Structure 1
Amino acid sequence: MQGSVTDTTTDTSSTTEQDLSTGVTPTTADPPTTTDETTTTTTAPTTTVDPTEPTSTTTGETTDTSTTTTTTGETTDTSTTTTTGETTDTSTTGDTTTTTTGDTETDTETTAPGSCGDAILDAGEDCDQDNLGGKDCVSLGFDGGTLACADDCTFDTGLCLLESCGDGQLDEKETCDGDDLAGESCESQGFAGGALACNDTCNGFDASACTACGDDQKQDGETCDGADLDGESCESQGFGGGTLGCNADCGGFDVSQCDPCGNDQIDDDETCDGAALANETCESQGFSGGTLGCSATCDAFDTSQCDSCGNDVLDAGETCDGAALGGATCESLGFDGGVLACAADSCGAFDTSGCIGCGNDKLDGDEPCDGAELDGETCETQNFFGGTLACSEQCDDFDLSQCTNCGNNQIDAGETCDGSDLGGATCESQGFAGGGVLICATGCGAFDTSACID
């Protein structure tokens, strides 16, 4: 048979019936076009076919699910409809199929999950990329501007405009307006301080004048922040010590508590600083020589290493200095006369070589000796075996107390033994039963029993 055979069921109760799934009133289509191919439409019982809606779900008490496939020519259209209820009335007019159910029916649109970003507006999305669903700033209550879509498929109204923006009054849809910041501040926005402002579109804040300075964490653009000095100190800043701080604006260091003393530079009212002595020396400070230093407080020179001997001034610790003899004379020192002087090498003693009398290391009058002057005499010339000869304090005789005869192999006064002269003593007489060899100890004052045997 040529032409088209269509199985059509008409519900006389509603020739023009509203599709409850879509809420759209269907229209009666013209009969299908006759072609040379045979077209067969097979409809299962209780089936809703709506070419305009790919998938439709109707909720009720009982569920009847069927699939209808309509083939016309070379085109295949497949729809799946689930109908729930007690009574289902399906009518097809042309290309439009209407389903009427006795109970209330609800259509649920099935949306593929995770579809944000595919430019297709799905359920739950305000927009998707450039697909704004026909919306614009005006339709959302703004006075103009450009609506955009955010990455999470919600509207981005950042470029939408309000004519009320700029009047200083916070209106609906405005985040802020002029000085009215709705109670917000840099601090409430997460900053440490600064001045919060409202942007030109009244839909956001301008935090460009806010600052993180004050949170004790150095961030980009900051030299330091509170206790966070980025590892710097007074010393690294060229000072001798002290406590480095950070400026209130975090833009530089506060060196007011740093001590410049110790940086080897003469700063402000410093007299000197370390090796920086302002070209001063011990000599320029009135000393005969030595090494000049600087005090730990940089306010005075340290002359402790300067040598004052030779400046003709009797300084602390000096017996005399050049012509400064502190009133001493040869006579005051016990001499008969003469010229007293100061020892040139240390200023710690008098030079009595110019004095006349005992003590000037010169033989005056009938003196047999005077100090170190012994007139060539020794212990040996004084009939001793050895020792050190000296002169008495009165220069009237030799001092033989350090002379000795020890070593002449003769026991002299005060000697226990002397060399081979043991005075008849033996190891046995010293209490050693085994005998051995008794020796005279050095100094002749005792025996050496190291070679005796018990």
Structure 2
Amino acid sequence: MDWPGRGGLRVGLVAILAGVVAPMSGCSNDTGQTPDTHATGTFTGDSDGTDGTSTGSTEPTTGTEPTTGPVLQCGNGEVDAGETCDDGNLDNSDACLNSCVLATCGDGFVQLGAEACDDGNSDNSDTCTALCQEAVCGDGFVQLGVEACDDGNSQDDDGCTTACEVGAVNLCGNGQLDDGETCDDGNTLDDDNCLSTCVPYSCGDGFTHAVFEECDDADEDVDDECVECIAAYCGDGYTWTGMEACDDGNLDNADDCLVTCEQASCGDGYVHNTDEVCDDGVNDGSYGGCAPGCAALGPHCGDGVLTMGVETCDDGNVVAGDGCDDHCQKELPPECLGYVSFAEPDRAASFNDGPGKVTKCDEQLLGKWYRLEAPAGTMMPTAPLAKFDCGTDAPGWMVGAHPLVDEGIVDRQVCFVWESDCEWETSIQVRNCGDYYVYNFADPPEECLRYCATQ
């Protein structure tokens, strides 16, 4: 049959049936009260806490029910008394368990995002540590049956390897020479004389010694930036790949490799001794330079060809002292250089103090070359003089003109004036040196004769 208002009607019927059955069985109701039966055959049921009169009763019956507190429920989303949390759910994988206490490592529940495992104990020797992390080699806890040791570091020489196996203990660094060590300086530095492995440093060990090495790349390559523990440089005799074209380890620029570690070539400014005649770095065939290709010189001093505007001579060599110097400029002959100077003021043709005064005579001239210079004068007069000129009794003057430069050495006569313009005479030689004249004077034929000078 249908149950209209299913919940309320059903509860009412159950209550009525309970009231009928209870007196018959002589049992108390679920409130612990004994029903009070009246003549009418009715009884007082459960009270809702308010006074009431049963139907058909002539006297009201008053009853009092025991007081009960509010119903507590974990998971209602409210932190009730006795709870440390209540997140409104019964999920044991979050921060609040279904018992309304905060989740902790060791509670037996894996807290997502915070724990990798939780076996509910604090034993660090099983698969889940007391930190709620999966046991692994290197966590510092020895997993029984799996690991022989676990010291929680990445060092292989301290008695326990990184594979959690028992290994040898390294005593290197204790300052004592133990078995298997060749040195022990009491430290773990790798840039001093003893490495942290207790073996002496050496070039190629991969560690740069602070004093004796510039580098150490732990290889024997000689074409990189570190060669025999010295930083590579041009001239070390090894070609640094990508940085040098060559390196012959010398300072010779005439071979195949320059001192700049570049390959020799025409135009580098150095004469390559096997296939170049010249190389001035320009090589355009200009005077004194090199022809293109570095195989021949351009016009130059010593080629025997006079280059006008540049050379004043070219005798086919570059030897000085032969009239054409090593720059192809005409040079003075020896007589124009190794002369004796006559510069006395009283040798001037204009000096005449009469007889019996200054009387000087040239003698013992020994055939040397002489140059007349101021204040006496710069050349011999070429016209007759008067007696007592130039500080002597019989002054000498030159017959004929002075020679040109290209005439070289010429012979001339010198006359000495006394009673005639040429009382005595002698032969001399004269040379034009360009800016001055030189004379090869002979000893005068008589006493108190003198070679004179004029401007």
Q: Choose 1 or 2 for highest CA Rg.
A: 2
Query: Per residue, is there more helix in 1 or in 2?
Result: 2
Q: With the length of structure 1 as denominator, give the TM-score of the two structures.
A: 0.26
Q: TM-score, normalised to structure 2's length? A: 0.25
